[in-house]
Amino acid sequence: MKNKYQFAQEIIREAGHFIKSKMDHYIHVEEKTQFDDLVTNLDKETQELLISKIKNCYPEDNVFAEEDDIRHPINQGNVWVLDPIDGTVNFIVQGDHFAIMIAYFEAGVGKFGLIYDVMRNLLYCGGGEFPVCVNGRPLPEYEEKPFNRSLLGTNACMYADNYHGIRDLAKQTLGVRVYGGAGISMAQVMAGQLLGYFSHIQPWDYAAAYIMGKKLGYTLLTLDGHPVDFNSRQTIMFIPQAKLTEIKKYIK
């Protein structure tokens, strides 16, 4: 497993170099389902790069990836879950605040996850048998912090609509932060910078954080308290397990 984990760290950094080397050139932007659901040639090319490297080294392994509807079930065999650019809108508009994400499962069991904040050159990785680190520095397990000394990460619309009581919960904290990227937001939760992250996201958006978070005392649940399905877009919360009961007083 160690070789595979090292391989994953190499290819995610390579993919980051690839994006950086291309991002100042012409970028072709397409709408997927609606005007704010965008994909670029670099999302697709980065995914192709990752898949070709994985298939080259591990031809028997399978892929579940965002672009081109590549959807091998996560609980069958060895599966790499890929989000080639998380925060595509940030990437297009800001040229910043986006991540590459990889998660690796064997028979449905998460073995390791990686979130690479490309422009900050910060690689969060670990989970399973590996300690969770940022650029090699171990992250501590969740340490208790009261709501009134915390910030909350959330999807902007869900906050504005007070969806399931998210705004009520936010009012107990020092405020909300909206970063426009699930990966960067969930990495901040694991770094102790956010109390939690609330959003409406897909398996490739949460798989890496799910694996790493488990190791550090965080849980990923739907807003009605069920495990995520690794199959569809769901409204989720990524929070410290120790805060679940307290959070449930506000999240209905």
67 annotated to bind ligand: no
**Rule CB under 6 A: is residue 117 a binding residue for ligand IPD?**
no
> Residue 106: beta bridge partners?
78, 109
66 annotated to bind ligand: yes
| Backbone Cα Rg of the chain | 17
Burial degree of 229 (CB within 10 A; 0-12, 13-18, 19+): exposed
Residues 6+ apart with CB under 8 A from 239: 189, 195, 196, 197, 218, 219, 221, 247
62 binds, among ligand IPD, Ca ion, none (CB under 5 to 8 A by kind): none
181 binds, among ligand IPD, Ca ion, none (CB under 5 to 8 A by kind): ligand IPD
Q: In terms of CB distance, is 47 or 173 closer to ligand IPD?
A: 47
**Rule CB under 6 A: is residue 181 a binding residue for ligand IPD?**
yes
Residue 200's H or E segment, with its range, is: strand 197-201
**Rule CB under 6 A: is residue 188 a binding residue for ligand IPD?**
no
| Dihedral in degrees, nearest 10, Cα atoms 71, 183, 97, 68 | 0
Q: State the binding string over 47-86 for ligand IPD (x if CB under 6 A, else -).
A: ------------------------------------x--x
Nearest to 13 by CA among 133, 135, 181: 135
180 binds, among ligand IPD, Ca ion, none (CB under 5 to 8 A by kind): ligand IPD
168 vs 160: CA distance, rounded Å: 11
35 vs 26: CA distance, rounded Å: 20
199 binds, among Ca ion, ligand IPD, none (CB under 5 to 8 A by kind): ligand IPD
Minimal distance, residue 99 CB to Ca ion, in Å: 8
Stretch that binds ligand IPD, among 159-167, 177-185, 190-198, 210-218 (CB under 6 A): 177-185
**Rule CB under 6 A: is residue 201 a binding residue for ligand IPD?**
yes
Footprint on this chain of ligand IPD (rule: CB under 6 A): 83, 86-88, 155, 180-182, 199-201, 205
Residues tagged in the binding site annotation for Mg(2+): 66, 83, 85-86, 205
